[in-house]
Amino acid sequence: MEIPSHLIEQLRGSKRVAVLTGAGISAESGVPTFRDAQTGLWAKYSPQELATPKAFKDNPRLVWEWYEWRRELVTRANPNPAHISLVIIEEKVENFTLITQNVDGLHKMAGSQKILELHGNIMRYKCADENIPIREFSAGSEVPPRCPNCGGYVRPDVVWFGENLDESVLKAAWEAAGSCDLFFSIGTSALVQPAASMPYLAIENRAMVVEINLTETPFSTSATYSLKGSAASILPEIVKAAWPESIKF
Ligand code: OAD
């Protein structure tokens, strides 16, 4: 793909870069996306049925087992060249913030430092009743297991539909999106709020906004550049063009 030279100049000269990632960046690590037909997790399961507090209340076992299945997939996954490219960009740029909707922890595993996990992390657990982190629990015969403190259910420490995002994480994400001079929206369908509004805030504040996605999204026509293709191939090309000496893959 031809990477626009203006984008490369902007990246090299940029003081503040913010990046928003979604499930598409982890697709090539073997973690299925949410909304893509056939391969998406939610082609088989409806998110409304599984990722809500009501679902957990109605059928805690189903929701627990679904998350256990996803957790296993994530445990076997490794970061791909797209995750690694973002690590290199963070090393090069003065002020870098990575905002992710992903709960898979692959950015951290790749080596990214400043990560804002908007939707939590699937490898962490919390008490469904007390909303406090749980580090250890006995995986006895009961599914889901019980909180050792209060006997409530253990649940994944992720944000479900209808739940609030962590306020300080969200505030930091808005600040990064509103103050950057270059914003990337990578592998996200740009449908789920509040993340979907962040690239628009960047545009309002005159940032260059670059979308990388296999397909058109509702945001594509608003982007400065909408690059169509896989994140794992386009991001390394961008890094190579900006800093040819720093290729690690
Ligand atoms: P989606 O599954 O909605 O969208 C994935 C996007 O990635 C789509 O636009 C694909 O076209 C694109 N894509 C797929 N493979 C790609 C690749 N190799 N390179 C580039 N793009 C690729 O995932 P999200 O936008 O992350 O929230 O979904 C946002 C939130 O909706 C999730 O965090 C989750 C879900 O409901 C909660 O669970 C609260």
pLDDT tens-digit readout, 67-95: 998 898 899 999 999 999 999 999 999 99
> 192 CB under 6 A from ligand 1?
yes
Least Cα distance to 25 among 92, 88, 90, 104 occurs for 104
Q: Give the residues across from 96 on adjacent strands.
A: 17
- Residue nearest atom 37 in ligand 1 by C-alpha distance: 160
Whole-prediction pTM value? 0.94
The whole-chain average pLDDT of the chain stands at: 92
CA-to-CA distance for 236 and 249, rounded, in angstroms? 8
Residue 121 and residue 103 in contact, taking contact as beta carbons nearer than 8 Å: yes
Annotated active-site residue 6? The verdict is no
Residue 196 and residue 209 in contact, taking contact as beta carbons nearer than 8 Å: no
What band does 38 get if pLDDT is binned at 50, 70 and 90?
Answer: very low
> 79 CB under 6 A from ligand 1?
no
> 188 CB under 6 A from ligand 1?
yes
Average pLDDT score over residue span 198-209: 98
CA-to-CA distance for 233 and 230, rounded, in angstroms? 5
Write down the pLDDT at residue 248.
Answer: 64
Atom of ligand 1 nearest to the CA of 42: 2
Q: Which of 6, 83, 107, 119 is catalytic?
A: 119
